Amino acid sequence: MLISDQYHQIQDSIKNKLLSTARNPSDIELIAVSKKQPKEKIIELLNCGHRTFGENQIQEIESKWPSIKNDFPDVRIIFIGSIQSRKVKKICELCDEVHSVDREKIVKLISDIKSQGLKTPKLFLQVNIGLEKQKSGIHPNEINNFLNMSLLKYQITFDGLMCIPPERKDPKIYFDQLKSLSTENNLNKLSMGMSGDYLSALESGSTHIRIGSSIFGARG
């Protein structure tokens, strides 16, 4: 199936789901996860009118996107990967949003960049919603303390929360938990839901869904 067909199928699924939840499609950001996808596939999607893409490695962003942006300057890049301290400045320079802030050191580095008058992206706090040892993220019980620390100590604010639910468990349970946590902390944006569970995430109030394989097919 063509990427354009797969993309429009996803768009139709989103619209149909939102009809049943009385939500507005304009409130949803579809992030096309383009990591390890070739330029040809990305340009095919760009020609459908899509402009928001997710990447998880700064080296790939540097090598792939500058030439694409020459032709499509309104593209938005969302960083969704694990953040290395030494890459924070480059991530801030090249990305419009970062959905994977997971520790104080990263907040401090972003604050240092901001204090220099340099560009900083919108930020989402990654939450380890399933309390999994192998995953990054703030403990759910520490969200409020982390947000307050970031604001008072570093003058850094967050737009929303992000999570990846545990595999082989009902994701809806975890999506509902993150929605409750966002409400408790007065954050109205939620980055949750991928190719296999984005409809469930939309039911739970997700505002940003990250979809790769269902649009592009298998990664190269």
pLDDT (0 to 100) of residue 217: 85
Residue in 12, 60, 68 with CA at minimum distance from that of residue 36 = 60
- Output the CA–CA distances (angstroms, integers) from residue 140 to 129, 130, 143, in the order listed: 6, 9, 6
217: left (phi over 0), alpha (psi -120 to 50) or beta: left
- Do 32 and 55 touch, CB atoms closer than 8 A? no
pLDDT (0 to 100) of residue 21: 84
State which H helix or E strand residue 118 sits in: none
Residue 70 has pLDDT above 80, yes or no: yes
CATH number, domain 3-216, options 1.10.3110.10, 3.20.20.10, 3.40.109.10, 1.10.10.60: 3.20.20.10
Model confidence at 25, pLDDT cuts 50, 70, 90, reads confident
Dump pLDDT digits (tens) for 105-148. Answer: 999 999 999 999 999 999 999 999 999 999 999 999 999 999 99
pLDDT (0 to 100) of residue 220: 56
Dump pLDDT digits (tens) for 27-51. Answer: 999 999 999 999 999 999 999 999 9
pLDDT (0 to 100) of residue 146: 98
- Do 92 and 102 touch, CB atoms closer than 8 A? no
Q: Which residues lie across from 124 on neighbouring strands? A: 160
Dump pLDDT digits (tens) for 165-218. Answer: 999 899 999 999 999 999 999 999 999 999 999 999 999 999 999 999 999 987
Residue 14 has pLDDT above 90, yes or no: yes
Residue 147 DSSP code: H
Confirm whether pTM is higher than 0.85. yes
